[in-house]
């Protein structure tokens, strides 16, 4: 039997539910479906369940990625969670190669497809095919990389940063009702079969088959592809595989091992090794054919090598003529604000910001950070004593504009506002916990939070950001703009002290804006004076004894959904949990405020509860 193919010897039984996703087969390895407009799991898993959820991936250790820390950075996930779920005490420990690790991620629907977002700094001599199938082991696809990035398939810029959507999915409503809480994206190997996988993860064989859309005994599975494993609880480290280094030694010590077994094992192993080699040769040949005829015009500069070695993003240096062409000569029609222009470079929309000579700090910071919820900086340009920064383009503008647009229907759902809050929290969590040194943004407000076309939030404007040592206060002489006063923590206003809790306070105000639809500082209609939103909410909520009855006065009227029969749906419980969370961020004493880790965990629970309860119709 060809070891590439694994035949399913089973009888299919009738089942009322529709499968979660359709198994993609080995077409997932190809790079020719990026222009299709049809929904296909060969691209990523399609959105057919709840909008956002906790999910899990299986990743196997490999050279360069054999530590919890490096793998977590590759996947843009929390190393403490990776270590916890895999039972690993030392995140810097070298793990055996080809050891399976469970990777917890947040899976969200973006457009038509689910994805867990990460990014990757492009090394020398590679393309989308090798990144998808070697570095990420099939957890992303060549097609999805092409569609989500500015670079063409065989024209990757060394040191550039690309977006990597990882394959994941969320349970459907029917699955949730049947007790399925998580879907694990499993990487199929040579020795796998559906029966082995179902036994290892304690999942019914029939359920695993049906949830991946198999329809007949002729269906095949292939190595380097993925399938979804439905789980009622988190996967266990005991369900993963670790290569047995001493297997051969143990076999030699076994006197009962027959010569026939040794011969069969040797032949089978050799045959698999040959086929593995053939597969690798095919992949390499594919890459060589793709690069055939290309002329290498440059050698890798030493500064770029240094940038890759230090895991800093090496930015593209644009010529002014490129930016001038991208913006049609910086015309008024392309202007988004006083100094920002909309442009198009190689078919990809970008935002080009003209600054003075003071942009070095922001560029330096954005080179060091790498997270989906932080604005992406593509490159820079210096021309005529001005600096131009080329950012990813955010179609829905700022959160402030989005909230104040009374005609916007998308702003009238709890789901969108919850997801935005979670995105901002994750961006701050990354700055506070996973960057060395730690960064405090210092200027978190709705004008500096930008939204993609899919309403995913990203933090921008790092000009005031400050690096600090964890656990220490840093006295800052930088003063924020007056418009940001509503976001400034008491200790900063009084003494200029800055810690990560400074951002927590500002996030609490942003969360209140998402709940109420009001600005951080707004005009009182009665007397024309200014009102501080945080002070107003704390005053209304009082001591909390009548919180449930008073929270209704705070909720943005646009969020008060009506049933088809006409009555207003009670959402006070959801709003109350969010208001309490925001108040936990607004404590006057920094040490009493929540941490960003606590905020992210709480928001994820609230978001999942909102989607799996009667509020599903709000999605």
Question: Average pLDDT in the 537-541 region?
Answer: 85
Q: How many Å separate Cα 564 from the centre of its chain?
A: 35
Q: Higher confidence at residue 611 or residue 392?
A: 392
Question: 3-state DSSP: the chain helix, strand, coil percent, rounded to 5?
Answer: 40, 20, 45
d(CA 579, CA 512): 7
d(CA 519, CA 369): 29
Residues of the chain with CATH 3.30.200.20: 315-392
Kindly report, residue by residue over 459-475, the tens digit of the pLDDT: 999 988 999 865 566 66
What the block records as the tokens of 169 is: 């999915």
324 is annotated as an active-site residue:
no
d(CA 546, CA 550): 6
Q: Among the options 423, 443, 503, 556, which is catalytic? A: 443
Dihedral of alpha carbons 73, 78, 79, 85, sign: negative
Kindly report, residue by residue over 236-275, the tens digit of the pLDDT: 999 998 876 444 434 444 444 343 443 434 334 444 444 4
Characterize 2-25 residue by residue with b for buried, 16 or more Cβ atoms within 10 angstroms of its Cβ, and e for exposed.
Answer: eebebebeeeeeeeeeebbbbbbe
pLDDT at site 299? 33
Preceding amide of 437 cis, omega within 30 = yes
Mean pLDDT of the chain: 78
Percent with pLDDT over 90 in the chain:
36
CA-nearest of 149, 123, 116 to 31 is: 149
Identify the top-confidence range among 26-40, 84-98, 145-159, 554-568: 84-98
CA-nearest of 223, 380, 259, 409 to 316 is: 380
d(CA 123, CA 541): 53
Question: Average pLDDT in the 74-93 region?
Answer: 89
Q: Higher confidence at residue 313 or residue 448?
A: 448
d(CA 391, CA 375): 7
Q: How confident is the model at residue 120 (pLDDT cuts 50, 70, 90)?
A: very high
d(CA 498, CA 402): 29
Whether residue 184 is predicted with pLDDT greater than 90 in this model: the reply is yes
Residues of the chain with CATH 1.10.510.10: 399-618
Neighbours of 567 (CB within 10 A): 8
pTM: 0.55
Whether residue 278 is predicted with pLDDT greater than 70 in this model: the reply is no
Question: Average pLDDT in the 7-26 region?
Answer: 49
Neighbours of 331 (CB within 10 A): 9
Domain 399-618 coded CATH 1.10.510.10 = yes
What the block records as the tokens of 93 is: 């420990």
pLDDT at site 476? 59
Whether residue 312 is predicted with pLDDT greater than 60 in this model: the reply is no
Q: How many CA atoms lie within 13 A of 407 on its CB side?
A: 0
Percent with pLDDT over 70 in the chain:
74
Kindly report, residue by residue over 591-614, the tens digit of the pLDDT: 999 999 899 989 988 887 776 554
Pick the CATH number of 315-392 from 1.10.357.10, 3.30.200.20, 3.90.950.10, 3.20.20.70: 3.30.200.20
Whether residue 306 is predicted with pLDDT greater than 60 in this model: the reply is no
Q: Supply the DSSP symbol for 440.
A: E
Question: Average pLDDT in the 362-389 region?
Answer: 88
pLDDT at site 26? 66
d(CA 395, CA 453): 5
pLDDT at site 33? 56
Q: How confident is the model at residue 27 (pLDDT cuts 50, 70, 90)?
A: low
Characterize 42-78 residue by residue with b for buried, 16 or more Cβ atoms within 10 angstroms of its Cβ, and e for exposed.
Answer: bbbbbbbbbbbbbbbbbbbbeeebbbbbbbbbbbbbb
């Amino acid at each position: 039997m060809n070891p590439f193919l694994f035949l399913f010897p089973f009888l299919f039984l009738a089942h009322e539910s529709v499968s979660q996703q359709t198994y993609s087969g080995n077409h997932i390895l190809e790079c020719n479906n990026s222009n299709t407009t049809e929904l296909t799991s060969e691209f990523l898993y399609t959105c057919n369940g709840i909008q956002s959820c906790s999910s899990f991936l299986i990743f196997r250790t490999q050279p360069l990625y054999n530590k919890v820390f490096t793998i977590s950075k590759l996947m843009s996930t929390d190393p403490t969670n990776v270590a916890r779920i895999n039972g690993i005490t030392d995140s810097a420990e070298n793990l055996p190669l080809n050891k399976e690790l469970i990777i917890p991620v947040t899976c969200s629907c973006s457009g038509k497809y689910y994805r867990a977002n990460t990014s990757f700094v492009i090394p020398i001599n590679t393309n989308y095919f090798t990144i998808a199938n070697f570095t990420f082991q099939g957890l992303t696809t060549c097609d999805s990389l092409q569609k989500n990035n500015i670079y063409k398939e065989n024209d990757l810029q060394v040191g550039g940063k690309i977006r990597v959507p990882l394959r994941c999915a969320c349970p459907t409503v029917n699955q949730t009702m049947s007790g399925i809480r998580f879907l694990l994206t499993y990487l199929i190997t040579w020795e796998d079969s559906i029966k082995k996988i179902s036994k290892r993860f304690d999942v019914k064989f029939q359920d695993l088959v049906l949830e991946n859309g198999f329809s007949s005994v002729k269906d095949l599975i292939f190595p380097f592809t993925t399938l979804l494993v439905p789980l009622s609880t988190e996967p266990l480290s005991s369900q993963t595989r670790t290569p047995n280094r001493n297997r051969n030694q143990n076999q030699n010590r076994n006197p009962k091992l027959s010569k026939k077994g040794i011969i069969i094992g040797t032949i089978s192993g050799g045959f698999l090794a040959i086929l593995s080699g053939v597969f690798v040769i095919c992949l390499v040949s594919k890459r060589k054919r793709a690069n055939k005829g290309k002329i290498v015009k440059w050698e890798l500069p030493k500064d770029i090598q240094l940038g890759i070695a230090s895991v800093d993003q090496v930015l593209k240096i644009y010529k002014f003529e490129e930016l001038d062409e991208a913006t049609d000569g910086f015309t008024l029609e392309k202007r988004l604000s006083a100094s920002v222009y909309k442009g198009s470079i190689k078919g990809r929309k970008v935002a080009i910001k003209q600054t003075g000579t003071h942009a070095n700090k922001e560029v330096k910071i954005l080179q060091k950070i790498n997270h989906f919820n932080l604005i992406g900086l593509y490159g820079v340009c210096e021309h005529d004593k001005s600096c131009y920064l080329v950012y990813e383009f955010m179609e829905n503008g700022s959160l402030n504009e989005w909230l104040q647009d009374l005609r916007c229907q998308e702003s009238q759902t709890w789901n969108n506002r919850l997801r935005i809050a979670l995105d901002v929290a994750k961006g701050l969590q990354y700055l506070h916990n996973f960057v060395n040194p730690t960064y405090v943004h210092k200027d978190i407000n709705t004008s500096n939070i930008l939204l993609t076309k899919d309403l995913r939030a990203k933090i921008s404007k790092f000009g005031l950001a400050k690096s600090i040592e964890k656990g220490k206060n840093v006295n800052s002489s930088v003063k924020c703009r007056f418009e940001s006063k509503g976001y400034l923590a008491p200790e900063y206003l009084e003494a200029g002290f800055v810690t990560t809790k400074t951002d927590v306070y500002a996030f609490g105000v942003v969360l209140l804006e998402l709940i109420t639809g009001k600005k951080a500082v707004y005009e009182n209609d009665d007397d024309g004076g200014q009102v501080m939103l945080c002070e107003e909410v704390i005053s209304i909520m009082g001591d909390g004894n009548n919180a449930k009855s008073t929270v209704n006065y705070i909720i943005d009227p646009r969020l008060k959904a009506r049933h088809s029969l006409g009555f207003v749906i009670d959402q006070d419980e959801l709003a109350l949990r969010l208001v309490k969370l925001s108040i936990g961020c607004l404590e006057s004493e920094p040490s009493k405020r929540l941490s960003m880790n606590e905020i992210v965990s709480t928001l994820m629970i609230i978001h999942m509860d909102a989607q799996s309860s009667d509020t599903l119709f709000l999605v």
